[in-house]
Amino acid sequence: MEIQNEREAAKLQTREAMLNGPVFSTMMRLALPTMGVLVAQTLVNVAETYYVSFLGTPALVGVSLVFPLWMLMTMMAAGGIGGGVASAVARAAGAGRHDDVNALIMHAVVVAIAFGLAFSILVIGMDPYLYAALGGTGEALLSAQTYSIFVFLAAIPIWIVNLLSAVLRGVGNVKVPAMVTFVGAMVLVPLSPLFIFGFGSFHGFGLAGAGIAVSIYYWLAAFVLLRYMASGRSGLRLTLSPLRWHLFRDILKVGVLAALGTIQLNVMVLLVTGAVGKFGVNAIGGYGTASRLDYVLIPILFGMGTAILTMVGTNVGAGQVARARRIAWIGVAASVVITETIGMLAAIFPGLWLGLFTHDAAIMETGSLYLRVVAPVYAANGIVFALGFAAQGSGHMWRIFLAGTVRLLIAAGGGWVAVTVFNISQTGLFTLVMAAMVISAVICVATELSGAMWPRSSRSDVSTAKVT
């Protein structure tokens, strides 16, 4: 009983900090655990790419072909539908609807199973056509298929882990999701090379071993999180409660648009990969390796974004919209500083990143070109992510979704046409990608300033509170 009271007190303290505490320090307390551990996880993915590079260029290109689809699924789960889950939970908690907060756990699990099963069936069933359409041929195509099968066999547990983590983040509990991810990173560091290369009498599975290691981790992590949520130790409890449409609607009205936004981003990467493929297989390797830095930024932006979402959602639920808007802009400022610093370093010293994976001259040439053109405007990505997560928290997503649509049309549609019809150079293609990123950020800023991403009663509100 005493332990339960302590948990309730901790929940109330976290909620009070989000509603009335200093904005920046509260945001950092929520963001840093997620940022730190997700950076560790991303570095594990980078390490896996390093291990795969020893299997040869076809294996490296194969993983590069699978990576956009893998990121599409994980971003949909964590920042798309997961954003809808966290937003619904945060708004319910902010409004004091505690029964709905608990009921949302079961609804999140149902949604996770449905989306995970769909990904497994679609990707595994269509992977030869998907990767061939992206320019994969010969050994690179076979490598992509091999890696893809084992990764997407874990689609259901990947969705469960991400949506249950979103529930916890929605009430300000960032430690448990961070710990699950951290333990996974520590497991995959030795497990991945063991399954790839083997050890002693165990010969390993080659490229398939990388996918097997990922699958094993996520199945175990899903089991651990389900038991934790059912135990009530989180202060919440997973129970077999009746399903209610209005709770699915609370999740999906934000989650579907957020998920479509992640689809737009990843379709853009897929189509740009296809356009780059017109310049040859080595160009795909260079673009895939360089653009992986874009994805390395995502854990940082995701950590900031989930903190922004939780704080904004809690304050909107409690009717404090002016404070929610201030939280959004403080989040934008922090995200811009982080992303632009990394972007400028990558643009000035591209070899520091690319040299981790390859010294092939052709791959290095394309990769360096991409980083010099696109990385200097990484701040635009920071703006889009921060305001996108704020919009998820407020429950008003559609104009932010429009920004992603414009980016897709310019970078992917325009890029594809420019390459296939007008024979534009790689420099021209990457310039279109850069321009699309900047225009998307401008639309997001205009959306916030117009008040369109906030509840109607707040559209004329102007926050004059001092930034804390």
- Other CB atoms within a 10 A radius of the CB of residue 186 amount to 13
- What interhelical angle do 57-75 and 281-317 show, nearest 10? 20
How distant, in Å, are the alpha carbons of 224, 267, 350, 360, 427 from that of 430?
Answer: 43, 16, 15, 20, 5
Strand partners, 202: 199
* One-letter-per-residue 3-state SS of the chain: CHHHHHHHHHHHHHHHHHHHCCHHHHHHHHHHHHHHHHHHHHHHHHHHHHHHHCCCHHHHHHHHHHHHHHHHHHHHHHHHHHHHHHHHHHHHHHCCCHHHHHHHHHHHHHHHHHHHHHHHHHHHHHHHHHHHHCCCCHHHHHHHHHHHHHHHCCHHHHHHHHHHHHHHHHCCCCHHHHHHHHHHHHHHHHHHHHHHHCECCECCCCHHHHHHHHHHHHHHHHHHHHHHHHHCCCCCCCCCCCCCHHHHHHHHHHHHHHHHHHHHHHHHHHHHHHHHHHHCHHHHHHHHHHHHHHHHHHHHHHHHHHHHHHHHHHHHHCCCHHHHHHHHHHHHHHHHHHHHHHHHHHHHCHHHHHCCCCCCHHHHHHHHHHHHHHHHHHHHHHHHHHHHHHHHHHCCCHHHHHHHHHHHHHHHHHHHHHHHCCCCCHHHHHHHHHHHHHHHHHHHHHHHHHCCCCCHHHCCCCCCCCCC
- The pLDDT value given to residue 234: 78
Give 199's strand partners.
Answer: 202
CA atoms within 13 A on the CB side of 412: 18
Name the burial class of residue 6, with classes exposed (0-12), middle (13-18) and buried (19+) by CB atoms within 10 angstroms of its CB.
exposed
The number of beta carbons lying within 10 Å of the beta carbon of residue 129 is 9
Q: pTM for the full model? A: 0.76
Residue whose structure tokens are 């798309």: 80
pLDDT computed for residue 48 by the predictor: 76
The pLDDT score that the predictor gives to residue 466 is 36
Per-residue tens of pLDDT for the chain, all 468 residues: 454 555 566 666 777 888 888 999 999 988 888 777 677 766 777 777 788 888 888 888 888 888 878 877 887 888 789 989 999 999 888 888 888 889 999 999 999 999 999 999 998 888 788 888 877 788 888 888 888 898 899 999 999 999 999 999 888 888 888 888 778 777 777 888 888 888 888 888 888 888 888 888 888 889 999 999 998 887 888 888 889 998 999 999 888 888 888 778 777 877 888 888 888 877 888 888 888 888 778 778 888 998 999 999 999 988 899 999 999 999 999 999 999 999 999 999 998 888 888 787 888 888 899 999 999 999 999 999 999 999 989 988 888 888 989 999 998 888 888 888 888 888 899 999 999 999 999 999 999 999 989 987 544 443 333 333
